[in-house]
Amino acid sequence: MDNQKVSIIIVNWNGWKDTLECLESVYQINYPNYNIILVDNNSKDKSITKIKDYAAGKITVKSRFNPTSKKEPIAIIEHTRKKSLEVHKKQFKQLKNSELTIIKNETNYGFAEGNNVGIRYALKNFNPDYILLLNNDTIVDKDFLRELVETGESDNNIGIVGPKIYYYNDPQTIWCIGGKISWKFARGVHIGTNELDKGQYEEKREFDYVSGSAFLIKTEVLKKTGLMDENFFLYFEETDLALRASKIGYKSVYSPKAKIWHKVSKSGGGLSKPIGLYYITRNRWIFMKKWAKKRDYVFFIIYQIIGTVVFPVVLSIYYSNWELFGAYYKGLIQGLKNE
């Protein structure tokens, strides 16, 4: 099982502090055969400099979840996005977790295409058995990758695996173990949310999708489904990929002994920030046009018409931010226009 090669893709956008804490936890895991590819989406906050300083041992990261590790300096391999498409390295039988590959995007490609940049590089240069998409605002348990891979290897029909995800600020409370799709309302329903972990979710379970914050997918699946749909940019992209995998016979499964902690919506901000509300509103329409059955789509349209006035007003008042009002309608218009 330890022979299965895993390339971990982490996308950073103006979030180097979170990214360093994430990297510190990943470099302490006990799985031997992995490498890390960090894709920077044209950050403006000196992220690249700070990450390099960390790799050189100039920055000490303190985390409530992991002791500070004593490690050798991490070798940096650096590429532009364009150069990453041209590179051809010798294939490694064993991946090097003593290296950190940084790919610098010339613009912000979002979560979907940002991950795709890293995935293409990994497939071309490392020939991994698995790709792990990991949010930069997560902290991982030292056993998490071993548990994810073990679950993946337990069944040839398992294509995607996700961990038990806790809140970073409430470490014993579950954020998500997996998701079901509410088709009439075009939303993912997280299972286990806000429940104190009392051992109630200790069995493997199949779900419609697992969270994109920690999303392990077999390379064989990606070669059949293709990569993430860049049109989504942010939100719904992992659900779309899980459905494409399901369509060709692969399951998305929760691995109960794999654990991570998530700071939750640090980049997009969900419904509370204009960028999050814009993409959630827009992508609901794109997702439903692509996947929904006719009856569910008709219900969704009626529901959206009724909520067109109510949603933006309620959200703007609740979050005391009237920029949300304009973001909602911008997302609605773009979602309707998108084919």
Torsion angle defined by CA atoms of residues 181, 187, 192 and 193, in that order, rounded to the nearest 10 degrees: 180
CA distance 72 to 41: 27
pLDDT tens-place string over residues 271-294: 888 999 999 999 999 999 999 999
Per DSSP, the three-state class of 133 is strand
Vertex 249: Cα angle to 33 and 202 (nearest 5): 60
Q: How far is CA 38 from the centre of its chain?
A: 13
Residues of the chain with pLDDT > 90, as a percent, come to 84
Q: Where are the beta strands (DSSP E) in the chain?
A: 6-12, 34-40, 75-80, 99-104, 130-134, 138-140, 158-167, 170-176, 178-182, 187-191, 205-207, 214-218, 251-262
In this predicted structure, the answer to whether residue 51 has a pLDDT above a threshold of 80 is yes
Task: Classify burial at 30, counting beta carbons within 10 Å of its beta carbon; exposed 0-12, middle 13-18, buried 19 or more.
Answer: exposed
Q: Which residues, 6+ apart, have CB-to-CB distance to 40 below 8 Å?
A: 11, 12, 13, 47, 48, 51, 102, 103, 104, 105
In this predicted structure, the answer to whether residue 93 has a pLDDT above a threshold of 70 is no
User: Distance between terminal CA atoms of the chain?
Assistant: 43
Contact status, residue 6 vs residue 31, Cβ threshold 8 Å: yes
Contact status, residue 148 vs residue 31, Cβ threshold 8 Å: no
Of 267, 216, 233, the C-alpha closest to 18 is 267
* 312-316: average pLDDT: 90
Confidence of residue 90 (pLDDT cuts 50, 70, 90): low
Confidence of residue 300 (pLDDT cuts 50, 70, 90): very high
**How big, in percent rounded to 5, are the helix, strand and coil portions of the chain?**
40, 25, 35
* 90-118: average pLDDT: 89
Contact status, residue 41 vs residue 69, Cβ threshold 8 Å: no
Place of tokens 């795709």: 116
In this predicted structure, the answer to whether residue 268 has a pLDDT above a threshold of 70 is no
Q: Tell me how far CA of residue 59 lies from CA of 56, 72, 113, 177, in angstroms.
A: 8, 13, 29, 33
